[in-house]
Amino acid sequence: MIICKNSDDARRYFTGKSMTYKDVSDGDIGVLFILLNKHVKQAIKAGVISTNTIRMSRKIKSKYKTNGIMKECYFFLNNYRFTQREAISVNQAGFIGFAGWADAGNKSPLMSCLWNV
């Protein structure tokens, strides 16, 4: 597992893939969820995340234009203290956010996941 601790580097890497919302399907969102879940579980085993109760929430919030192209998408995390805290957000302007509430260790598996996309 690649450890990525810098949100800006992760954003630049993903942006460098030259993908747009037109390239993203519902299936891609599902695959990304599976990869995020895998990276979170690996980070727990490796002791990168500070708590072993954190999990990806099954809720994924997506909005689409009338032509079916994605406008925005949000993934969430749960643990024993909270439910549905933002894990990754891709907003309408194209900005990618990584768990703004979390410290570097807790957000690193989320950022590292994008290196496998």
Q: Tens of pLDDT along 6-49? A: 777 777 776 777 667 777 888 888 999 999 999 999 999 998 88
pLDDT tens per residue, range 77-114: 999 999 999 999 988 887 888 888 888 888 888 888 87
Q: Helix, strand, or coil here: 61?
A: strand
| pLDDT at site 25 | 84
Please enumerate in sequence order all residues whose Cβ is within 8 A of that of 99, keeping only pairs 6 or more positions apart, or say none. 77, 85, 86, 87, 88, 106, 107, 110
Smallest Cα–Cα separation from 62: which of 54, 72, 53?
72
| pLDDT at site 112 | 80
What percent of the chain lies above the pLDDT cut of 70?
Answer: 87
Q: What single-letter amino acid sits at 24?
A: V
pTM, 2 dp: 0.83
The owner of tokens 């234009």 is: 65
